[in-house]
Amino acid sequence: MPPASPAPAPAPAGKPTSVLAIISLISGILGWTLLPWLGSLAAIVTGHMARSEIRRSQGGMEGDGLAVVGLVLGWAMVIISLLTILAFVFFLGGLAVLLTMLGISGQY
């Protein structure tokens, strides 16, 4: 009977992924779907925290790309929301000025 071959060595474990980076990505997606402002703000905060954690690990942790995507999604939603609000206010303000110039008031 041939000698038993040794069991194969387990595959080396890769670097751990930052949990904060994963949370940032998920929050960024939620910011565009179910929780517009809350998810976006959580994505921004956890994204910055994750990138800091990954830098401090000096190559011992992965997930920087996930954190960056979470940050981009979060900041994009905040910026688009603010620009939409600003455009709406300017539109109504411009409409009020136009009506005033035409001599039309909202009072009867």
Sign (positive/negative) of CA torsion 13, 19, 25, 30?
Answer: positive
Q: How far is CA 94 from CA 49, 53, 90, in A?
A: 41, 47, 6
pTM of the model: 0.76
Amino acid at 87: A
Query: DSSP readout, 70-82?
Result: HHHHHHHHHHHHH
| 62-84 tens-digit pLDDT | 999 999 999 999 999 999 999 99
Q: Which amino acid is at 80?
A: I
Question: pLDDT tens-digit profile of 39-52?
Answer: 999 999 999 999 99
